[in-house]
A and B are shown apart, each in its own frame.
Chain A
């Protein structure tokens, strides 16, 4: 019956959930545009693109582990530590080996730190069987502390100009470089989630570890890899955000923990695991960044933004509960 009705026209009930978020994002933009015409200026459009691209990576980092019924509270700590450590490496090496080589070392170091933090989380969650909440809460504390300690708590200035140019200001075919990288990563992540055995297993184990195990999958390895991927994605965010601010900041990632979870959840990933595709971080990061930029333009007190993020997270979780109930 239902198959037939679908064949004769667009089933609104099936399409509506997919339209909800794009409409919500357009709605947010429209409301702020009415209050502040600057919302629609070219400069602001570029700003929205850049900001949401940067934020997109942490939302992706979160998505990969949320699919496995976990989450990663250490994304913010990763961003901070990567920012500080790669900045220190670049500024230290700049006089001796030149801009190009020092940037290369800084970027590679940043990615390695991300992978290493992910590996610690993954090892403790997958092989140590410790609750991801506890594990990543602990590593969040540890690596935030490390970032503050090695930097002495102060920002690291005098990054090579080429770094900020290459990872923030450069445009390719008029598109800002963070957006280009975000596009590439989005494609790669989407491919890996939908077309590879690894991606498939993440969804199945997110639903039930036992089913994946009985299905002959190496559950622990896949789970471990998910946390490493999450760490690497967070470190990309750390590098790009450092290029944006132009300095290494020991508290760069502090506010990202909750907002990254909120972005993935409002975008459609379920904290119960096993669901959510690439559209979740895309829509989630656009929605949150548009709201945040709109509130800045309207000069709404910055302290109110966490209130909004919290509300979005609860709303997203409620939406998920509703979806779960109806299916």
Chain B
């Protein structure tokens, strides 16, 4: 099309295509992450990528910003056909991305973070005044009232997000990618962010906005591209569509091939929450029970308290009122040690801080929760290293952990293999209850399937399994029963056939949306 090479800083007229993708394919082994993908981003628009997790949104944005390569098809950036794009080149050309997880260093100031790795120098020293001026101009442009000298750790999440955006805009930026930017923001903070996004759109930037939250899409989107199962479904104008239509486009997929069918044989109740309120206030008035032989799912937006429920069950959250009972015994002064001996096992969502000792060996990591067990130690004092090695070898084999060797450090493994190493710990001694907090976060597709298989096996062996996941498809398709949480409270419980996407989604938001979604479900 119009192959006018537009240098950085040049004003682009609204409507000019910035990113053009056609017939793009990308596979990981046998899994097709993207198939015949199409996408077009124009200057001066907010283009929402809409779809389930696993629909291919992340793969697509990673290809756009050069993190991933593609197998075949065409990718034109600013009218140029590109091959072998790297993140550095993409950044230089003006593609910036703000990830869900912040990349800021908390101990450093706003200004230091903005220039991290791109410091302006005058000879051998930092050109502080030049940097300060540049920061001020960006902050002014965005209308951010931020002190460049403030330490990032002192800022609220929303302000940290602003710093991330300022960081993206510090250098000439024409394509801004925002990946679920409101995941951890309050409504008010999100509203502030939307104003900024609209302002940037008016300045002529092309903005790719990844989200599956209806209210945000209605407010911001100019056009929406719907992806499903790695395939391009359609692109619609926000003005010409409705929530109803979008939800229909997004759902109506089959997960038969992806998620395993888990047999349900509900047995005795092994874990009960009776009107539990947490001291932190992140979750209130929780009452539910967990039974053998079935998978209980917790769904809800980030920050709804689902993760805290699992942490409370494992003794990592103090409870203010109420009672947690395991196998008929009330767990008072609960702590992880007591949880483990009550046969409750927990897999934290944050592998790097709570899950694995990154600089210790596979063996150290796989047996740490079972060192009191007579299999691994004599009188809870002397280690049985042979048994530890034997167990770790067995787990590497059973869970297909790909590792350079037994003495490798946890850090040397890939995300999926790290997760599997953590799961090995759950098999190191006898447990009744398995709590999975975001079981497949940051995990490749192959490992994901293997983890689902572990969950299936455990459940069918008669264990009680609890999953908290922000990935709606995962929690829906893996669970026999789903509890939906909003703002720290349980707002709904769905069982068996009643677990449908629209039913779950309807509980995510407040009643306005609920009636709408129900209406749609009925139709």
Contact = CB atoms under 8 A, between A and B. Distances in A.
A and B, one complex? yes
A208 B357 contact: yes
Contact of B337 (A200, A204, A217): A217
B316 A214 contact: yes
Interface string A155-170: 0000000000000000
A210 B357 CA distance: 9
B381 A196 contact: yes
A235 interface: no
Interface string B331-369: 000001101110000101000011111111000100011
Interface string A261-302: 000000000001011000000000000000000000000000
Given A210-B353, A210-B354, A216-B369, A195 B385 contact: yes
A214 B336 contact: yes
A180 B340 CA distance: 43
Contacts of A43: none
A327 B369 CA distance: 25
Contact of B360 (A2, A194, A198, A203): A203
A18 interface: no
A204 B364 contact: yes
A194 B360 CA distance: 13
A211 interface: yes
A215 B348 CA distance: 11
Contact of B348 (A214, A217, A327): A214
B476 interface: no
B409 interface: yes
B252 interface: no
B395 to A, nearest CB: 16
Contacts of B341: 216
B329 to A, nearest CB: 17
B358 A207 contact: yes
Given A196-B383, A216-B339, A216-B369, A208 B358 contact: yes
A203 B341 CA distance: 22
A211 B383 contact: no
B180 interface: no
Contact of A200 (B353, B358, B383, B405): B383
A211 B382 contact: no
Contacts of A218: 337
Nearest to A205: B357
B134 interface: no
Chain B: interface secondary structure?
mixed
A197 interface: yes
Chain A: interface secondary structure?
helix
**A interface, size bucket:** 20 to 34
A208 B353 contact: yes
A211 B354 contact: yes
Interface string A121-149: 00000000000000000000000000000
A196 B381 CA distance: 6
Contacts of A77: none
Nearest to A215: B368
Contacts of B354: 208, 210-211, 213-214
B337 A207 contact: no
B199 to A, nearest CB: 40
Contact of B359 (A200, A201, A207, A214): A207
Contacts of A201: 368, 371
Interface of B: 314, 316, 336-337, 339-341, 346, 348, 353-360, 364, 368-369, 371-372, 377, 380-383, 385, 404-405, 409, 411-412, 425
Given A195-B383, A197-B377, A197-B381, 11 more contacts: A2-B405, A203-B360, A204-B357, A204-B364, A211-B354, A212-B357, A212-B368, A216-B337, A216-B369, A274-B357, A275-B359
24 contacts: A195-B382, A195-B383, A196-B382, A197-B371, A197-B381, A197-B382, A197-B383, A203-B360, A204-B357, A204-B360, A204-B368, A207-B359, A208-B354, A208-B357, A208-B358, A215-B371, A215-B425, A216-B339, A216-B369, A216-B372, A217-B337, A217-B371, A327-B409, A327-B412
